[in-house]
Structure 1
């Protein structure tokens, strides 16, 4: 549902999209589906953006997003040009993760997080008792209410101002429903009202970190993320998350779109209040009637205005270790799981440490970690290394961004990596210190080198003044034919939301999108 009415005025036949991340790919597919001539420019040698890839010795591993929810949004983007999961190269073959997450706690207890309500009731009953299982069902219903009241108007919709949210009858109705459900209270408080077990409370609130806010301070509207994670299901594509971008890129080029990889945009030429031409480092020039910008906001601002925008609060960052571990080592860690959230004993304190402002941030003193083992779901990702079978392994540790804690990561990375491995060894991941061969480490410094504000891959935090109508608008006034997409603009951070942001950007250029021109697309010149 499109609440906002503003679109790019004038001709929009030729569109250049900068950035072939999921937002740019989504925008390009939806635009191409309307018959426009679309050129997609990407500085890396592969599509994907934050759904990135690291090429290790003899293997590849996702070094960006690892959690896929609402895959129907990918299907919708492909359908805009008449493609589907089976028709692309590579095809998208999705596996539903069961459980979606395995949660481990400091007291050695575990909870498997199931999307199926009956399985989850049985699991909560096993761990917490039947009374808590009944409370879980109440929480599940509340999360669904938040999501249903929020999605159509506040996520999957363009809006131009606060007035849009009260002048539209449906928007006003959804706003009233969201208010009645307590959506503008605090997420932590709303969850605590419904369930009592502190372990379950963590399972249903840690998602606030995706939005860059501690659960105790996050608006309850971000229960929508928990609903996606814990009720709608988590999927994984064969070959890794990168196959999503590869499949979308294939559908785009098959439909006549032009994709230029390893092409860095260096300048936007303007005249008459509009962007007219995009120039790249290799000397190429691309004429445009409309322009979609998806890079991180500091890069966008540099290319468009050359002056700093209003300071924004940026989300905490992360250190992510990527490598392989022998299966003989990981076999001793118990039942294998694709995603394990290994919670430390501390909770509120760790959020305070990584989210502190103005140089007061600290590394987590008792870290909670996300451990990803994709070969558990896709054995095709196993490799032979040093004469033995190994599996890819990623370990993510949330940490302060560079505004919060301007650490010298060139000095700190080695010591902090050793500390994380020591913590994991002590939590039962026996042999990880010796067996884990780490090939790549992302830190706030590596994110910053890719143009991400304050060295965070999670973009501006979703605090109130950076949420919804207060977030950076996706349709600029100057230049008048430039539209933004990606995690820095509406609706925000996350795989589903950036896919939606690409579609919303296309709507700003085309108006309401139809069902696409499958089989009727003219060639791109």
Structure 2
């Protein structure tokens, strides 16, 4: 774990817009450096996209369901002299995933090298088990190069790529700029492993055949470092971060929507104006709203960077939160992936044709297995996700397609043996994501194509507005819980650069 940032020589007053994971991470790192921090959150609770829904006796996590790289969370807590375990208990899930295939077989994705090797040896044979040893070594080397040099780093221009030429050359040597799907396929004979170790490309907004091999670092994060589940559900993490921040002197104002970033005559940020008309003055402002939406709503008259206005966005997700009565089928775990027969064809439908997948792979989480308080006795909470086109490429009328796909999802639950006695439900479509402030109707922001990665991704500062800093999935380093935790830390580092 890295040391906390050094204390600021000139403490500043900082306003952080949004109490999501990136905003709370920024607040912790800023407070640890000695700054005076106020967090403004439009909702009555922390979390942002990592939210919570309580309905008819059920509690649903409305955002991410897979928590990895706990060390990055520990780093944020350590910035204010705290430990994660002081505020929340994290349980390692073993298996991390139950991977179900169309031929009726199942693979358990287990955390760590030895446990997963044992599973591959039993299910796929000695040759693929030996290949896995080499694969893990490759993943670790990728992670060791990428994390310090290309993920946990601020970029001022594309030329920043060359500040660590040895690291860049090592990434090339490791094949990081090849394609993820073919790279994985060359390593294993069992086609099931091709899918298990490459589906993570979807987190980056791309098909495995299109994603750069360097995104295998996401595979490292969940298949080697492991997947964790917080006691009390995923929303317990932002609650814990908010509590630690408050204990460290951060002021968090809930139900305080921000109307705009205030600017001085020279264009620099001077604070934020709330929707009620009040002003929160600040030396620096950290904005965590989805970047294109932040420019549109909080910075009127200031065009967003070109990549944010015309970039390629990740696919969206149709998410069905379901509270059901009854028992689960055999062989179901906390996280379940049901791979369809189709693979490349499904990605073409999703990414090129802009229509719902005919034979989708589905993600189905049952958090009530490890959080019994999330559902009444004899009931379960289900989180059912299917990838769908975002609103930029999609040709779908969600007023009709939402109910149609909901019926298809219900049929899938029945076919798989899940209980279908529905007590309560909430269907979230791309239109709903857009209404929540997410560009293109996707919670996964800009896709991680090469022109939208690293120094080519929208920067977390805008030279037109000195004192303004961005954090979150729309900026450096990108999408996913580990990345947005890093983005908060990088935002705090940008505040430290002010006035140098």
| Secondary structure in 2 matching 1:436 | strand
Q: How does 1:427-438 map to 2 (within 5 A)?
A: 428-430=416-418, 432=419, 434-438=420-424
The answer to whether structure 1 residue 53 and structure 2 residue 52 are counterparts is yes
| 8 Å CA contact retained: 2:323, 2:375 | no
Q: d(CA) in 1 for partners of 2:117 and 2:304?
A: 50
Q: What is the Cα deviation at residue 10 of structure 1? A: 12
| Secondary structure in 1 matching 2:158 | coil
Q: What is the Cα deviation at residue 406 of structure 1? A: 4.1
Q: d(CA) in 1 for partners of 2:12 and 2:143?
A: 36
Residues 55-90 of structure 1: per-residue CA shift (max 9 Å, x gap):
111231101000000112111111211222243xxx
CA-based RMSD of the aligned residues comes to 1.9
Q: Quick one: higher RCO (CA 8 Å, sep 6+), 1 or 2?
A: 1
The answer to whether structure 1 residue 465 and structure 2 residue 460 are counterparts is no
Q: What is the Cα deviation at residue 326 of structure 1? A: 2.1
Q: Which position in structure 1 is the counterpart of 2:212?
A: 219
| 8 Å CA contact retained: 2:271, 2:284 | no
Q: Which position in structure 2 is the counterpart of 1:189?
A: 182
| 8 Å CA contact retained: 1:274, 1:480 | yes
Q: What is the Cα deviation at residue 19 of structure 1? A: 0.8
Q: Which position in structure 2 is the counterpart of 1:137?
A: 133
Residues 250-276 of structure 1: per-residue CA shift (max 9 Å, x gap):
111111111111111112221122111
How many residue pairs get aligned? The number is 487
Q: Which position in structure 2 is the counterpart of 1:301?
A: 295
Q: What is the Cα deviation at residue 412 of structure 1? A: 2.0
| 8 Å CA contact retained: 2:72, 2:486 | yes
| Secondary structure in 1 matching 2:346 | helix
Q: How does 1:467-506 map to 2 (within 5 A)?
A: 467-506=453-492
| 8 Å CA contact retained: 2:355, 2:388 | yes
The answer for unaligned runs of 5 or more in structure 1 is 3-8, 513-525
Distance 1:450 1:382, change over 3 A: closer
Q: How does 1:56-455 map to 2 (within 5 A)?
A: 56-87=55-86, 91-166=87-162, 168=163, 171-271=164-264, 272-302=266-296, 303-306=298-301, 307=303, 309-310=305-306, 311-328=310-327, 330=328, 333-356=329-352, 360-384=353-377, 389-426=378-415, 428-430=416-418, 432=419, 434-455=420-441
| 8 Å CA contact retained: 1:104, 1:110 | yes
Q: Which position in structure 1 is the counterpart of 2:5?
A: none
| Secondary structure in 2 matching 1:112 | strand
Question: Normalising by structure 2, what TM-score?
Answer: 0.94
Q: d(CA) in 2 for partners of 1:200 and 1:437?
A: 37
Residues 437-471 of structure 1: per-residue CA shift (max 9 Å, x gap):
44211110100001111100000000111001100
Q: Which moved more, 1:395-404 or 1:10-19?
A: 10-19
Q: How does 1:5-24 map to 2 (within 5 A)?
A: 13-24=12-23
| 8 Å CA contact retained: 1:19, 1:43 | yes
Q: d(CA) in 1 for partners of 2:275 and 2:161?
A: 42
| Secondary structure in 2 matching 1:439 | strand
| Secondary structure in 1 matching 2:84 | coil
Q: What is the Cα deviation at residue 373 of structure 1? A: 0.7
Residues 277-297 of structure 1: per-residue CA shift (max 9 Å, x gap):
311112221001011011011
| 8 Å CA contact retained: 1:444, 1:456 | yes
| Secondary structure in 2 matching 1:111 | strand
Distance 1:232 1:86, change over 3 A: closer
Structure 1 stretches of 4+ with a deviation exceeding 4 A read: 9-12
Q: What is the Cα deviation at residue 423 of structure 1? A: 2.7
| 8 Å CA contact retained: 1:448, 1:456 | yes
Q: What is the Cα deviation at residue 327 of structure 1? A: 3.5
Residues 10-55 of structure 1: per-residue CA shift (max 9 Å, x gap):
9761100101110000001110111111110111111111111111
Q: What is the Cα deviation at residue 196 of structure 1? A: 1.9
Q: d(CA) in 1 for partners of 2:195 and 2:158?
A: 33
Q: d(CA) in 2 for partners of 1:86 and 1:425?
A: 39
| 8 Å CA contact retained: 2:11, 2:34 | no
| 8 Å CA contact retained: 2:477, 2:487 | yes
Q: d(CA) in 2 for partners of 1:438 and 1:195?
A: 43
Question: Normalising by structure 1, what TM-score?
Answer: 0.90
Q: Which position in structure 2 is the counterpart of 1:6?
A: none
Q: What is the Cα deviation at residue 305 of structure 1? A: 4.4
| Secondary structure in 1 matching 2:320 | strand
Q: d(CA) in 1 for partners of 2:300 and 2:141?
A: 41
